[in-house]
Structure 1
Amino acid sequence: MTPPMISFCVTCLLWGAMIHLTTPKRPSTLRFVPVNVGEEVTLECFHQKDSLAMMFFWYKQTLGHKPELVSTYYKYERNGIFNDDLKTNPRFQLETSRGKNHLKISNVQMSDSATYYCISCYLYKCEYLEDIIIQVESSGLNLQALVEQSASETIQPGDAVTLSCTVHTGTCDEEHSVYWFKDEEESHPGLIYTHGGRNDRCERKPNTQTQTCVYNLPLKSLNLTDVGTYYCAVASCGRILFGNGTKLDFEEEAGSLVLVYVLSGALGFNTILAVLLAYKAYAMDKTKSCKCAETSSAASAPNAEVNEDSLHYAALRQNKVNRSRRIKDDNMIECVYSSVRQ
């Protein structure tokens, strides 16, 4: 194998690995589209014409299942391609051109209830352009999901809480599945638990067709990662309904707040004290310097006022014997000057 071929293969492997490791960025909004059975709906997906993205996809995800590919559209092709299961289905159509990739569904059926994703990709980087939930409704069905709990629940770290979801099935006797979703501020709701297709927690009201089912979600040893809004979703008779949600948040302990206030006050006091001490030390040092300067000036002032006429000079001659063998001059004259103040 030649070096260029080896380089090409390695590049392909790296791109493939990066595609699997890269998480697409989700859109900031989630659209909800209600539609009746037999109607027509168009899921719009716009993109910038000068975008680097080359491939555009539609995915369909029913509740509790993995996303399934619906269609693929190449930017420089005229028409998109549907997945094998939908190629022969006339109810699905693509409206594609520079700047848009719309999915049109006619004669909507209950099975079309799902979340649809429009995704754009360039090399290994993919991005969610649209998240759209289609809720297909049909007359004669009466299904209602309620979360019988306060809108918010305050707890403390390490506590346990049980969230309750009450389902009123109405005239729908089919088995239903209950799902719990957690919604955080930085991401869309994520599935955390499912009760499956069991109706053993249901009780039928006397002389009515309505069933009341209660599902609980116990949460133990809670910490900061459990903060968020929890939603109960019910899937039955081709419909998906969500509860109002329960917000879970931690209670601020009074002791912690008092400690924060005390520490803040102590910090402020120490800061002020440090500033005052620094100023005091500076003032004392400055005062000491001034006193030293005054003393030095006072000591040098009398000498400075002596008149030159009052100075007398006297020369003293002294014979000094130098016992060194190397004598250049036996006599040395030393002059001593003294000042006499009259």
Structure 2
Amino acid sequence: MLIIFYLLLMLRVGRCTDDQNLVTVTVGQDVTLTCARQTSLYQETLFWIRLVSGNLPEVLGTTFNFDYDDVKKTPRFTAKQEPGSFLLNISTTKLSDTGVYYCIKVNQLDMKFVKGTFLRIKGPEPDITAIIQVPPSDPVRPGDSVTLQCSVLSDSENKTCPGAHSVYWFRAGSDESHPSVIYAHGNSGDECEKSLEARSPQKCVYNFSKNVSSSDAGTYYCAVATCGEILFGNGTKLDIQAVNMWDLQTANTVLFLLCAALAISLIVIAFLIHTIKKKSCGCFNVAVALQTDGATASGDLQSQQRDENSLVYSAPTFTKRKTGKAERRNVKTAEGETVYTDVRTFVIH
């Protein structure tokens, strides 16, 4: 029977006779939900059920359409009849009692939603006054270590929730994906600074560090869970600057060209120095040669002049002798001979 009931409930057969209304109470108070009951000869059954997000439907109380004195009681829930109504009483409400409550009338396989009520349990006001997130000041590149900071300011005098608050980090990707929890801080309270002034707000600073990659881009939110609520900060958008391969290639090309220009300049300078040295040596050798040739020519000229100024004077002396027959035969030979008896040389300066 319950299996069929749950299937019919999930298929939402029938219709709601009354518009769904909203009831808000403070945590710890009692609340009573009312559903109209009409007496009939037909055997019909009334149910109070509760739907809480993430849980299966929960039956809290049942009764008949005719007068019935039975009272169904479970811890904090009481279901009973009163004239023309079917009541559900919740005592000492908790934050977990928040949900949708339906009054359903079932007649064999026919199910009708008589009334629906959204019950909201309001907890104490959080003592958090501000949640401040500070974005990184420097550009972020892949491989860098990034520290995100979240400062939680609270009013220590008006603390209404017992225990310490919990801090979580959420990330919403750049592709507009749903936020996901990436880190949760403990409740040690070591991150909080105690203010010396009584009326000064208490400041708790929470840091989240990570070595980022290109896939870590997105918006990071600091969330504080306290008093049954979750309070979010303004968020920190983290942009990861990708390395531009074109710029890197351009930088390498420019560096290569500079090195090549430097090398060519050194080669040209070395060549010029060698050329200048070679020309200097050539000029020196020419000068020495010219000096040497000049000295030699001058010496020859002086020698020639000395030779020209030197005159040789000689005085021939002839001796006449008697000749015999043999001597006469050699006259012709002797006629061509000249004998110098004295040679004198005069040098004219």
* TM bracket, shorter-chain basis: 0.3 to 0.5
**Greater strand proportion:** 2
Name the larger-Rg structure. Answer: 2
TM-score (norm 1): 0.39
TM-score (norm 2): 0.38
